[in-house]
Amino acid sequence: MRTPTDNYWLFFSQCILCRSHTKHPRGICPDCQRDLPWIDTCCPRCALPQTHSYLCPQCRKAQAPFRQVHALFDYQFPINELIAQIKYHDKPVYMAALAEMMARHLRYIKPERKPDLLIPVPMHKKRLRQRGYNQAEILARLLGKLLGIPVNCELLSKHQATAQQMALHRNERQKNLRGAFSCRPFEAQHVALIDDVMTTGTTVSEICQVLRQSPGQTIDVWVLVRTAEDR
Ligand SMILES: [Zn+2]
Ligand SMILES: [Zn+2]
């Protein structure tokens, strides 16, 4: 008969990707971690994966509403599968392994570039009821704990249930989100907006408009996955 202790042992000693036994306590074994689609070269501002590290065409064309995006992975196997498991198959527990890798990457940020506050991208309450959790909030809380940065999940809210961004074209995405978010006043001068995936950046840009409290404020964006449009 299986006891709760057995379950604990199973969870922490099997890699969530290859199921091999591992002493690694984070859920993904070192071999699988090495093979993940880490972003190698990318746009220095929006972290879009590309073959060189100059500004991407979009960032050359227009001023971004954020200072810098930090992203860990390209949207490829098995990260795309893990994100789908977390979002659509009730496996928010997998976020712990991803958050731990992200925290390790973000520890190299210089102290003066470290944000004072983490704010997750909110979910409309209707979708939140359907899913039962907001994966961006889980990620923000885990990162806050691992990096010692306060988290506030109450400032931003999404008060319009919008169509899924992935299914829309670029100009439709902007229209779809107009006026969908609002933000309460807050004091922090440097914030990081947290989300699981960033595609065209339309959601992030829309949120930056409502998040900005003063011209001198710095907004960074931390996402697990950064990908080009339509992938
Ligand atoms: Zn593995
Ligand atoms: Zn860019």
141 CA from centroid of ligand 1 (Å) = 25
Q: Does a structural domain hold residue 41?
A: no
Domain range spanning residue 24? 9-35
Over the stretch 114-136, which tens digit does the pLDDT of each residue have?
A: 999 999 999 999 999 999 999 99
Q: Is 62 exposed, middle or buried (0-12, 13-18, 19+ CB in 10 A)?
A: exposed
The number of folded domains in the chain is 2
Over the stretch 6-50, which tens digit does the pLDDT of each residue have?
A: 444 445 578 889 988 876 666 899 899 999 999 999 999 999 999
54 CA from centroid of ligand 2 (Å) = 8
64 CA from centroid of ligand 1 (Å) = 37
State whether 181 and 85 are in the same domain.
yes
Predicted TM-score of the model (pTM): 0.89
Type of residue found at 94: Y
- Indicate the SS3 state at residue 181: strand
State whether 141 and 189 are in the same domain.
yes
Type of residue found at 81: E
Q: Does a structural domain hold residue 151?
A: yes
Which ligand has the shortest distance to the CA of 68?
A: 2
State whether 91 and 19 are in the same domain.
no
58 CA from centroid of ligand 2 (Å) = 6
State whether 113 and 213 are in the same domain.
yes
- Indicate the SS3 state at residue 19: coil
217 CA from centroid of ligand 2 (Å) = 20
Each residue's pLDDT, cut to its tens digit, for the chain (231 residues) gives 444 444 444 455 788 899 888 766 668 998 999 999 999 999 999 999 999 999 999 999 999 999 999 999 999 999 999 999 999 999 998 999 999 999 999 988 888 889 999 999 999 999 999 999 999 999 999 999 999 999 999 999 998 776 665 566 766 766 777 788 999 999 999 999 999 999 988 899 999 999 998 889 999 999 999 998 654
State whether 91 and 29 are in the same domain.
no
Q: For residue 158, what are the contacts with CB-CB under 8 A and spacing of at least 6? A: 122, 123, 124, 180, 181
18 CA from centroid of ligand 2 (Å) = 34
Cα radius of gyration rounded to whole Å, the chain? 18
